[in-house]
Amino acid sequence: MSHKFPIRVYYEDTDMGGIVYYANYLKFIERARSDWVRHMGVDQVQMMEEDGVIFAVRRVEADFHAPAGFDDELVVVTKTVAVTGARLIVDQQVFRDDELLFSAQVTIVCIAETGQPARLPANIRLILH
């Protein structure tokens, strides 16, 4: 199952050349992941308060395929690749219509309030499988 999240490119997202500044793709996929998690019914604030853990990005492997520009309508597609006791791996792709512009594989872990690695809560693992 995949999640789709629409993004409109604003002037502030672009560089002097009028194309999306490369680091903003990370912001786009972050927003999409947050919406994806919310869409699955996971309350990250509640997870922090009840389980004492938060999600943290451990690794991002990204490829830039084609540029996006001001006022483009984009869609971020998020798909689960793997869920283990300690990590979640997702593929995220940014499209303009059918054209792939950006792709990333993101590894997400949980960390405790102490900053130490923690297991993904069991209820979260069940939702993500």
Catalytic annotation present for 63: no
Q: Cα–Cα distance between 20 and 97 in angstroms, integer?
A: 16
Please identify which of the residues 13, 15, 35, 91 carries the catalytic annotation.
15
Contacts 24+ apart (CB under 8 A), 91-96: 92/29, 92/32, 92/33, 94/7, 94/25, 94/28, 94/29, 94/68, 96/66, 96/68, 96/72
Q: Cα–Cα distance between 62 and 92 in angstroms, integer?
A: 9
Active-site amino acid positions: 15
